[in-house]
């Protein structure tokens, strides 16, 4: 239908206005694509032409450990987020009126709180004289304050806290679109509630799961603030290492090679994300 | 069905716990800012406003706040212009490569900022823009523009092209059609996108870390530098003020959207 309408109006706003994209695309070409290209090239030419930087990264040194730790942490954070977010999204998808408003507010307010400030709050919780140690000492569970920082517990708790809304919201968006009569149909046909959930609801929520998982995993790979403040050298992640190599050691070649590695992994997940959201980039987060 | 009832209570209880965890940091930072102690003990043993006084006495904080606005406002304006143009082209342009174009426009929002930071640093150095306001504004626009693009795309998708076609059939040119038909329809999306773009810039650390200098230092960068040196409740006082301001922004965005169409207000962390 759109085609025939289009053919009938050769002069409309819809035709020949590709130049509207020119300004944003030129802007992105200069300040997004060109910088990325320079990072990739620099990884091969600085300080000397060749694969030297990549040999250092993948030569079983501390750098490879950081990359693995980054992938492991991102995977763990994604898994925790999915398990925690799914029941919350389920409740939220069925909530109505004021309850829905309250839940939405409690999810959106943290999203509007600075990431630096939220990581600072977790430092207050996990430090030696912090909230958690006070609680543990008060309950008599430990005799001396536990040293949580720097370490992986703080990193995981802090990262899950930041990523959780990005898992809950795509799930809710998906679950609200699931036809509840299908579940009733399954029960009428003899499925118990558990089976109806497992065989009907869960498969139907798969698009939401895919979008949330891709989004959270991709974002987690690039985390900087939380691991830098709460993880320390014991729990180093890629972005922290890259920033350190560039800003502190002025090792731009190695930093660029590390960034290119991170870029390849992230782009692969981005392509998966575009596929699961039907090519409409950002739809799952935008609405 | 009795088993279903228990399960339901457990589900709701679990959801309540998770929402408590989400809101917890706020309930720590705000009381801490009124502590009378110079260490971060919680709950504070006594109350005072000394950390707000300490903050007001340090000129670095108001300077950083001013810088954050001098960077955030132009970022929002530039993002609205570029993001709206991109959305119009993708949604109304009938391009064969619209999907590819929108993938490129959205990508900067989702890729790790550190990659763009180390790429933009030498580019800005070559252009002679490093450490100036313009370099940070440009960098923030790259990562904030997708939010405008997404909200305006949603606005454009909420009504049919038939309205624009009708205007043109009645003799309106492309510009008149945009001004009197398209613009009123997407105005809310542009405004909400602009607020989101400002908020993104206001909270951005990594690009600021590489591209700002002593004269252009933003609030997140100053908080970051202070956090790495000492952990006094001054930062909690700053954080409380920023939190109050963010709530205002969120309220503004929510009110704008309530006037337009319901759509959750998100921001990329």
Q: How many C-beta atoms lie closer than 10 Å to residue A136's C-beta? A: 16
Query: What average pLDDT does range A145-150 have in this prediction?
Result: 82
Would an 8 Å CB–CB cutoff place B122 in contact with chain A?
yes
**pLDDT higher than threshold 80 for residue A261:** yes
How wide is the angle at C-alpha A47 spanned by C-alphas A44 and A50, nearest 5°?
Answer: 35
| Residue of chain A whose Cα is closest to the Cα of B189 | A286
Looking at per-residue pLDDT, the higher value among B230 and A155 belongs to: A155
Distance CA A35, CA B150 (A): 23
Q: Say how far residue B159 (Cα) sits from the centre of its chain.
A: 26
| Residue of chain B whose Cα is closest to the Cα of A214 | B110
Residue with tokens 């930071």: B117
Residues in B closer than 8 angstroms to A114, CB to CB, are 203, 220, 223, 239, 242-243, 246
Please give the structure tokens belonging to residue B195.
Answer: 């607020």
A120: left (phi over 0), alpha (psi -120 to 50) or beta: alpha
Would an 8 Å CB–CB cutoff place B141 in contact with chain A?
yes
Distance CA A251, CA B52 (A): 40
Query: What average pLDDT does range B124-145 have in this prediction?
Result: 92
Distance CA A141, CA A204 (A): 44
R_g over Cα of chain A: 24
**pLDDT higher than threshold 70 for residue B1:** no
Do A192 and A120 form a contact (C-beta atoms < 8 A)?
no
Residues in B closer than 8 angstroms to A32, CB to CB, are 104, 107-108, 116, 142
- Cβ distance B21 to A161 less than 8 Å, yes or no, reads yes
CA-closest candidate to residue B196, choices B113, B257, B107: B257
Backbone torsions φ then ψ of B172, nearest 5 degrees: -75, 140
- Min Cα distance B255 → chain A (Å) is 13
Q: What is the CATH number for A33?
A: 1.10.3720.10
Q: Point out the residue among B15, B165, B263 whose CB comes nearest to the CB of A88.
A: B15
**Domain-located, residue A250:** yes
**Confidence class for position A18, pLDDT limits 50, 70, 90:** low
pLDDT at B260: 65
Domain that residue A248 falls in: 16-286
Indicate the range of A41-55, A112-126, A273-287, B99-113 predicted with least confidence.
Answer: A273-287
Residue of A8, A45, A124 for testing the chain B interface, max B β-carbons within 10 Å: A124
**pLDDT higher than threshold 90 for residue B170:** no
Do A85 and B15 form a contact (C-beta atoms < 8 A)?
no
As for how many domains chain A has, the answer is 1
**Domain-located, residue A247:** yes
Distance CA B219, CA B70 (A): 11
Query: What average pLDDT does range A68-77 have in this prediction?
Result: 95
DSSP A20: G
Do B236 and B29 form a contact (C-beta atoms < 8 A)?
yes
**Domain-located, residue A253:** yes
Do A222 and B113 form a contact (C-beta atoms < 8 A)?
yes
Interface of B with A in 162-221 (CB under 8 A): 164-165, 168-169, 174, 177-178, 182, 199, 203, 205-206, 209-210, 220
Half-sphere exposure of A49 (CA within 13 A, CB side): 0
Q: What interface predicted TM-score (ipTM) does this complex get? A: 0.86
Domain B59-258 of CATH type 2.60.40.10: no
Distance CA A163, CA A169 (A): 11
Indicate the range of A80-94, A213-227, B236-250 predicted with least confidence.
Answer: B236-250
Q: Say how far residue B72 (Cα) sits from the centre of its chain.
A: 9
Do A222 and B269 form a contact (C-beta atoms < 8 A)?
no
pLDDT at B122: 93
Which ranges in chain B belong to alpha helices (H)?
2-32, 50-57, 60-92, 98-110, 113-126, 133-157, 162-169, 174-177, 183-203, 206-211, 219-227, 234-259
- Min Cα distance B186 → chain A (Å) is 15
Would an 8 Å CB–CB cutoff place A272 in contact with chain B?
no
Task: Give me the residues paired with residue A281 across strands.
Answer: none
Do A212 and A70 form a contact (C-beta atoms < 8 A)?
no
Residue of A117, A169, A275 for testing the chain B interface, max B β-carbons within 10 Å: A117
**pLDDT higher than threshold 90 for residue B188:** no
């Amino acid at each position: 239908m759109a085609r025939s309408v289009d053919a009938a109006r050769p002069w409309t706003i819809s035709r020949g206005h590709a130049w509207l994209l020119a300004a944003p695309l030129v802007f992105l070409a200069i300040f997004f694509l060109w910088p990325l290209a320079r990072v990739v090239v620099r990884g091969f030419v600085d300080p000397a032409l060749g694969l030297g930087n990549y040999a250092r990264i993948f030569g079983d040194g501390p750098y490879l450990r950081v990359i693995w730790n980054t992938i492991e942490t991102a995977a763990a954070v994604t898994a925790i987020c999915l398990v925690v977010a799914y029941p919350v999204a389920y409740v939220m998808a069925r909530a109505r009126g004021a309850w829905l408003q309250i839940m939405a507010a409690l999810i959106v307010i943290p999203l509007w709180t600075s990431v630096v400030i939220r990581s600072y709050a977790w430092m207050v919780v996990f430090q030696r004289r912090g909230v958690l140690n006070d609680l543990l000492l008060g309950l008599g569970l430990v005799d001396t304050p536990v040293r949580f920082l720097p370490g992986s517990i703080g990193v995981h708790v802090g990262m899950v806290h930041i990523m959780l809304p990005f898992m809950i919201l795509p799930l809710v968006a998906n679950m609200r679109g699931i036809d509840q009569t299908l579940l009733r149909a399954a029960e009428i046909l003899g499925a118990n509630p558990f089976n109806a959930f497992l065989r009907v609801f869960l498969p139907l929520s798969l698009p939401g799961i895919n979008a949330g998982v891709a989004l959270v995993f991709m974002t987690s790979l690039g985390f900087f603030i939380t691991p830098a403040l709460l993880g320390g050298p014991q729990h180093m992640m890629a972005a922290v290492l890259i920033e350190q190599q560039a800003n502190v050691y002025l090792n731009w070649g190695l930093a660029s090679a590390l960034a290119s590695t991170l870029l390849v992994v992230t782009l692969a997940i981005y392509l998966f994300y575009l596929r699961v959201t039907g090519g409409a980039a950002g739809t799952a987060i935008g609405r | 069905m009795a088993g279903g009832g228990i399960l339901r209570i457990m589900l709701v209880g679990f959801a309540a716990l998770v929402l408590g965890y989400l809101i917890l940091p706020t309930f720590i930072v705000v009381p801490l800012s009124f502590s009378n102690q110079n260490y971060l003990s919680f709950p504070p043993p006594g109350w005072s406003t000394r950390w707000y006084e300490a903050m007001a006495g340090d000129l670095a904080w108001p300077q950083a706040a001013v810088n954050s606005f001098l960077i955030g406002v132009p970022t929002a304006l530039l993002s609205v212009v570029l993001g709206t143009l991109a959305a119009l082209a993708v949604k109304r342009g009938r391009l064969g490569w619209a999907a590819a174009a929108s993938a490129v426009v959205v990508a900067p929002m989702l890729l790790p900022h550190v990659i763009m930071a180390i790429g933009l640093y030498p580019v800005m150095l070559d252009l002679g823009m490093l450490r100036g306001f313009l370099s940070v504004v440009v960098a923030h626009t790259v990562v904030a523009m997708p939010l405008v693009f997404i909200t305006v795309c949603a606005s454009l998708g909420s009504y049919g092209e038939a309205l624009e076609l009708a205007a043109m059939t009645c003799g309106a040119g492309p510009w008149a059609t945009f001004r009197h038909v398209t613009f009123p329809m997407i105005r809310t999306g542009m405004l909400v996108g602009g607020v989101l773009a400002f908020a993104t810039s206001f909270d951005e650390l990594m690009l600021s870390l590489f591209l700002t200098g002593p004269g252009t230092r933003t609030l997140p960068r100053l908080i970051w530098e202070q956090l790495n040196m000492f952990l006094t409740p001054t930062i909690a006082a700053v954080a409380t003020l920023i939190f109050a301001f963010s709530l205002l922004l969120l309220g503004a965005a929510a009110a704008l959207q309530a006037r337009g169409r319901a759509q959750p207000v998100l921001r990329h962390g």
